[in-house]
A and B are shown apart, each in its own frame.
Chain A
Amino acid sequence: MRVLYLALRRLAASLPTLFVVLAGLFLLLQLAPGDTVDALVAQMGGGDAVMIEELRRFYGLDVSVPVQLGRYVWRLLQLDLGYSAIYGKPVSTVILERLPATLLLMGSALSFAFAGGMALGVVAARKVNRWPDTLISTLGLIFYATPSFWFGLMGIVIFAVNLGWLPAGGLEEIGAGHSGLRRLVDIGWHLLLPTLTLALIFLATYLRIMRASMLEVLNLDFVRTARAKGLSPGRVVRRHVMRNALLPMVTLVGLQAGTMLGGSIVVESVFALPGLGRLAYESVVQRDLNTLLGIVFVSALLVIAVNFIVDLLYARLDPRIVT
């Protein structure tokens, strides 16, 4: 219960942050030349002054900036993200349609990067300064330096175009009419390459952190004790070292949740995935202010939610935090 209380307090502390985010972005977008109505009128190929005036009133753009901000925050408190003029439906509907693909991509990339980074980090730390360590560390550096969109494109060239093993894009086979398990397999198949692409840079970071924190923990007294009492090296690593070495990794997941969301903007547009990231890109291009603000709001919520879960997990891994 105490864990939950602590995590909830952290959650409450992030509310002012959320407000800073919203106010800052709203003011920033006020500086943008042209608004939703300008974009709409340009799309319709022009319109007369009366109609433009009418549209401004309809979208609530005819009042002063502080009033607009006040209205916006008030509506957000009621979880009303406004209306997207470009898509012709409420922003929350548009975002909810796109959210599952992004969550799926982020979830699978995160799991892959975490598991892979942990495994490689452990191997590198146990063979420190020998060839497996050198190989893994070098690979990590290269992964870290690879632009993800480029890796994705090259993956498409090799696995989709030349070998024909994997699909080049999309979330599922459209029109195949799969259902149930068959559909799941199909989606998994489509997400394989995007997951790898998004996970690569995080895999590199995780393995580096895991290696460093393993090395640090391996030098501590309790590890020597565990060895001295005759535990096998594998057991020492699994039961004593890894559990402690995992803490910085878990912290990193929370810190990088935002970065991963940013990365999925690019990955989704490489693989034509109908997710939140591509929606963000499209709404920038189409100057859809409401949708863009909505996405920013939802991403901030998502990052805060991930950090909430990380706090809970952290307390579970390290009981010292609670007491």
Chain B
Amino acid sequence: METLGRLAKSPAAIVGLLLLLVVVAMAFAAPFLYPKDPLSLAGRPLQWPFANPRFWLGTDTTGRDIAAQIFHGARVSLLIGVIATALSISIGIALGALAGYYGGLVDDVLMRITEAFQTLPNFLLLLVLVAVFGSDIKTVTIAIGLVSWPASARLTRAEFLSLRSREFVQASRTLGMRDVQIIFREILPNALPPVIVYASVIMATAILLESALAFLNLSDPNVPSWGNLIGTGRSVLRTQWYVSAIPGVVILLTVLAVSLVGQGLNDALNPRLKRR
């Protein structure tokens, strides 16, 4: 509660929260405002925004309603962001906790694997995964989660390393608690805050990764995606630049919202840092 109170005092966090709420509202409103398939033909192609009251953001190269794609795209981006983040944080916490708690050989092996993932450019790895398993929307989401866990594993490991020899952990051990209980009930709640804050970074990156993939035409073509729309607009960039410009602004604002909320959360959880 105290954290929420501090969060509410930061103007940047409030702006971020409001922006995020708008995007969430867009995602929920999409099926009601634009019940038709956003990828179906809606009108004459390449109408400028505000030129036709029916399409206030205009139409793209194949006559699809841009506004409808933006609203439905919000659903896709948020869904991919949330699921991929949850997946990558879960992997990161599990591996980081094991490595940090047990140390020794387990730590060595897990850290070698983490380093292998960190050595590879994550977008390149994403390309490889998509090339192998196809570009179905579920596959893309899982692939994004799979390439973005190393940092959270390292973060969790570092927290566990510093917590595992504290008195309360020793006390739990003396009480005869099992390892699983100590890891999940005693250490994890204390190790969680920095990982949660980092989740906002992962989510921002996940949204950017998906849009880049869609821009390259390697994401699911049957799903309305902001990145896809930017890619579509590329062929008419010289004249109808708005087709690419509009979804880009929306991506920017969404990622900005997520980062602002994450930063606000960070300041609220570490009030000492903020005052400096």
Residues of A within 8 A of B (CB): 14, 16-18, 20-21, 24-25, 28-29, 31-32, 141-142, 144-151, 153-154, 156-157, 161, 215, 219, 255, 258-263, 265-266, 269, 280-281, 284, 287, 292, 295-296, 299-300, 303-304
Number of A-B contacts (CB under 8 A): 142
Check B124 against A215 for contact (C-beta < 8 Å).
Answer: no
- Are A21 and B120 also in contact (CB < 8 A) when A31-B133, A161-B237 are? yes
Q: Could you tell me the distance between the alpha carbons of A269 and B230 in the complex, rounded to whole angstroms?
A: 14
B250 to chain A, nearest CB (A): 10
Check A29 against B132 for contact (C-beta < 8 Å).
Answer: yes
Chain A neighbourhood of B133, CB < 8 A: 31
Check A262 against B252 for contact (C-beta < 8 Å).
Answer: no
Chain B neighbourhood of A28, CB < 8 A: 128-129, 132
Chain B neighbourhood of A215, CB < 8 A: 276
Check A144 against B276 for contact (C-beta < 8 Å).
Answer: no
Chain B neighbourhood of A16, CB < 8 A: 112
Asked if B123 CB lies within 8 Å of chain A CBs, one says yes
Chain A neighbourhood of B244, CB < 8 A: 150, 153-154
Check B112 against A20 for contact (C-beta < 8 Å).
Answer: yes
- Are A154 and B119 also in contact (CB < 8 A) when A29-B128, A31-B132, A149-B215 are? no
Chain B neighbourhood of A142, CB < 8 A: 252, 256
Chain A neighbourhood of B241, CB < 8 A: 153-154, 157, 161
Q: Could you tell me the distance between the alpha carbons of A265 and B128 in the complex, rounded to whole angstroms?
A: 13
Chain B neighbourhood of A154, CB < 8 A: 241, 244-245, 248
Chain B neighbourhood of A303, CB < 8 A: 119-121
- Are A145 and B259 also in contact (CB < 8 A) when A219-B276, A287-B131, A295-B124 are? yes
Check A149 against B116 for contact (C-beta < 8 Å).
Answer: no
13 contacts between A and B (CB under 8 A): A24-B116, A29-B128, A142-B256, A145-B255, A146-B252, A147-B227, A153-B244, A154-B241, A157-B245, A258-B121, A261-B121, A266-B215, A284-B128
- Are A18 and B121 also in contact (CB < 8 A) when A29-B128, A284-B131 are? no
Check B119 against A17 for contact (C-beta < 8 Å).
Answer: yes
Asked if B212 CB lies within 8 Å of chain A CBs, one says yes
Chain B neighbourhood of A295, CB < 8 A: 124
Check A284 against B116 for contact (C-beta < 8 Å).
Answer: no
Q: Could you tell me the distance between the alpha carbons of A263 and B122 in the complex, rounded to whole angstroms?
A: 9
Chain A neighbourhood of B115, CB < 8 A: 14, 17, 20
Q: Could you tell me the distance between the alpha carbons of A73 and B158 in the complex, rounded to whole angstroms?
A: 33
A102 to chain B, nearest CB (A): 11
State the main secondary structure of chain A at its contact with B: helix
Check B123 against A284 for contact (C-beta < 8 Å).
Answer: no
Check B116 against A17 for contact (C-beta < 8 Å).
Answer: yes
Check B204 against A145 for contact (C-beta < 8 Å).
Answer: yes
Indicate with 1 or 0, residue by residue over B218-255, a CB within 8 angstroms of chain A CB atoms.
10000000010010011001100100110110011111
Partner of B127, one of A150, A260, A263, A280: A280
Q: Could you tell me the distance between the alpha carbons of A270 and B51 in the complex, rounded to whole angstroms?
A: 29
B155 to chain A, nearest CB (A): 13
Closest 4 pairs (CB-CB, A-B):
A262-B123, A262-B121, A150-B248, A145-B255
Check A153 against B234 for contact (C-beta < 8 Å).
Answer: yes
Q: Could you tell me the distance between the alpha carbons of A219 and B252 in the complex, rounded to whole angstroms?
A: 35
Asked if B68 CB lies within 8 Å of chain A CBs, one says no
Check B212 against A266 for contact (C-beta < 8 Å).
Answer: yes
- Are A262 and B122 also in contact (CB < 8 A) when A28-B128, A153-B237 are? yes
Chain A neighbourhood of B234, CB < 8 A: 153
Chain A neighbourhood of B126, CB < 8 A: 262
Chain B neighbourhood of A292, CB < 8 A: 128, 131
Chain A neighbourhood of B260, CB < 8 A: 141
A109 to chain B, nearest CB (A): 14
Partner of B251, one of A14, A150, A161, A261: A150
Q: Could you tell me the distance between the alpha carbons of A32 and B112 in the complex, rounded to whole angstroms?
A: 25
Q: Could you tell me the distance between the alpha carbons of A32 and B135 in the complex, rounded to whole angstroms?
A: 12
Chain B residues 128 to 174 lying within 8 A of chain A, measured CB to CB, are 128-133
Check A147 against B248 for contact (C-beta < 8 Å).
Answer: yes
A10 to chain B, nearest CB (A): 11
Q: Could you tell me the distance between the alpha carbons of A292 and B120 in the complex, rounded to whole angstroms?
A: 13
Chain A neighbourhood of B212, CB < 8 A: 147-149, 266
Check B119 against A258 for contact (C-beta < 8 Å).
Answer: yes
Check B208 against A269 for contact (C-beta < 8 Å).
Answer: no
Closest to B230 in A: A150
Asked if B4 CB lies within 8 Å of chain A CBs, one says no
